[in-house]
């Protein structure tokens, strides 16, 4: 099956710094990728839809200047948490679907656990 790789799996950063998370589709080209956020013991909440070559679509309440998404190629989307604060500490996970395969399972990356100190 298709594989989505996310890096890093775990990151600790200082408050005020920025952190970049990468999501790669390894054996298919993903025109669309999704970014989710999960707080401890809670569900996954969609943050934004990343579209290759165009601006991301953000869900209501998600600050686009805070969470910068770039989808520069068909195999890579990045999420940058800018000026991170402790409340940004969370589990971030991306997913992608193979083009042309309608509503197949979404393939998920391994997730990134961000801790801001």
Q: Does 89 bind other proteins (CB under 8 A)?
A: no
Using the minimum distance from each CB to other proteins, give the nearer residue, 54 or 103. 103
DSSP-assigned letters across all residues of the chain: ---EEEE-SEEEE-TT--EEEEEEESSS--SEEEEEEE-TTS-EEEEEEEETTS--EEPTT--TTTEEEEEEETTEEEEEE-S--GGG-EEEEEEE--TT-TT-PPEE---EEEEE-
Question: Using the rule CB under 8 A, which residue among 14, 43, 60, 65 binds other proteins?
Answer: 43
What's the closest the beta carbon of residue 16 comes to other proteins, in angstroms? 26
Q: Which residues bind other proteins (CB under 8 A)?
A: 31-32, 34, 41-44, 46, 49, 91, 93, 95, 97, 100-111, 113
């Amino acid at each position: 099956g298709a594989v989505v790789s996310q890096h890093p799996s775990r990151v600790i950063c200082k408050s005020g710094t920025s952190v970049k998370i990468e999501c790669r589709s390894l054996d298919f080209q993903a025109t669309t990728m999704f970014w989710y956020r999960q707080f401890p013991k809670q569900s996954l909440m969609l943050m934004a839809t990343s579209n290759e070559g165009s601006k991301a679509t953000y869900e209501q309440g998600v600050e686009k200047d805070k969470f910068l998404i770039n989808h520069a190629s068909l195999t890579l989307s990045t999420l940058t948490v800018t000026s991170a604060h402790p409340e940004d500490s969370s589990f971030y996970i991306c997913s992608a679907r193979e083009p042309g395969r309608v509503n197949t399972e979404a393939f998920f990356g391994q997730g990134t656990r961000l801790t801001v100190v």
